[in-house]
Chain A
Amino acid sequence: GDSVTQMEGPVTLSEEAFLTINCTYTATGYPSLFWYVQYPGEGLQLLLKATKADDKGSNKGFEATYRKETTSFHLEKGSVQVSDSAVYFCALSPGGSGGYQKVTFGTGTKLQVIP
């Protein structure tokens, strides 16, 4: 079945440091890939997504590129801020037609940015 593997956290960085959170996946076909962010006490918010190979999703300074050859979707940001402190989830859905899409989530990586 489909699976998503994320690097374990927590990740602690100083403000303005470079961020990378690794994510690899196992899936058949051509899944869509997502990064979600969860701030303390809140639900999930879609951060960015990519629906086909070599697509780059970007939002709020975060980027991730869909690499089919390495089955990866690593999240990066050039300069993190304290407000980026949250839990980040990598996820995939099977893609294709049909409408109903079961999303498979990674275990989440907690990011803490210190001033």
Chain B
Amino acid sequence: GAVVSQHPSWVICKSGTSVKIECRSLDFQATTMFWYRQFPKQSLMLMATSNEGSKATYEQGVEKDKFLINHASLTLSTLTVTSAHPEDSSFYICSASGGKNPYEQYFGPGTRLTVT
């Protein structure tokens, strides 16, 4: 139980285009979803937290107009990287909480974004 999926697992896009990443909780209702960014050889940096039906709460330094987060249902959250640039290339990981243990986060497998 408590499985989180992400799609796509990897994506390559051209500079200036937008790309959408989906995060789904497959067998539980995710009241809260989190988006992280991981730079090479570094830890995870929390970008934003979203509760179903509410606007996302962004961490300091994260551009909310660039990283659009939507949590429209209890099983789906999306992260859209708008007008992507090469410096946005990274590993994006989502997590979700709201299963049997509301204090625990379940992580997706991550999405590798490469902007050329």
A interface residues (Cβ-Cβ under 8 A, vs B): 32, 36, 41-46, 49, 51, 89, 93, 95, 99-103, 105-108, 110
Chain A residues with Cβ under 8 A from B108's Cβ?
43
Which residues of the partner chain B approach A105 to less than 8 Å between Cβ atoms?
A: 43-44
Chain B residues positioned under 8 Å from A89 (CB to CB)? 43-44
Q: Is the CB of B43 within 8 A of A103?
A: no
**Are A49 and B104 neighbours in the complex by a CB distance under 8 Å?**
yes
Given A32-B103, A45-B107; A108-B43 close (CB under 8 Å): yes
Question: How far in angstroms is the closest Cβ of chain B from A96?
Answer: 8
Of B44, B49, B93, B107, most buried by chain A (CB within 10 Å of CB) is B44
Q: Which of A42, A100, A106 is B97 in contact with, Cβ under 8 Å?
A: A100
Say yes or no: B105 contacts A103, CB within 8 Å: yes
Give bound CA distance, A42 to B108, whole Å: 9
What is the number of residues of chain B that contact chain A, defined by CB distance less than 8 Å?
A: 25
Docked Cα-Cα span, A110 to B109, in Å, equals 18
In the assembled complex, B68 has its CB within 8 A of some CB on chain A:
no
CA distance A95 to B101 in the complex (A): 11
How many residue pairs between the two chains, A and B, have CB atoms under 8 Å in the bound complex? 58
Q: Is the CB–CB distance between B102 and A99 below 8 Å?
A: yes
Q: Tell me, yes or no, whether B6 is within 8 Å of chain A by CB.
A: yes
Contact with A along B6-46 (1 / 0, CB 8 A): 10000000000000000000000001101000000111101
B contact residues vs A (CB 8 Å cutoff): 6, 31-32, 34, 41-44, 46, 49, 51, 93, 95, 97-98, 102-110, 112
Known: A100-B49, A102-B49, A106-B43. A44 touches B32 (CB 8 A): no
In contact, A99 and B98 (Cβ under 8 angstroms): yes
Which 5 residue pairs are nearest across A and B when measured between Cβ atoms?
A: A43-B110, A43-B109, A44-B107, A99-B102, A107-B43
* Chain B residue at smallest Cβ distance from A90: B43
Extra pairs beyond A101-B105, A103-B105, A108-B42 (6, CB < 8 Å): A46-B104, A95-B103, A99-B103, A101-B103, A103-B34, A108-B43
**Could you say which residues of chain B place their CB within 8 Å of the CB of A95?**
103
The distance from the CB of B91 to the nearest CB of chain A, in whole angstroms, is: 9
Complex Cα distance A106/B83, Å?
31
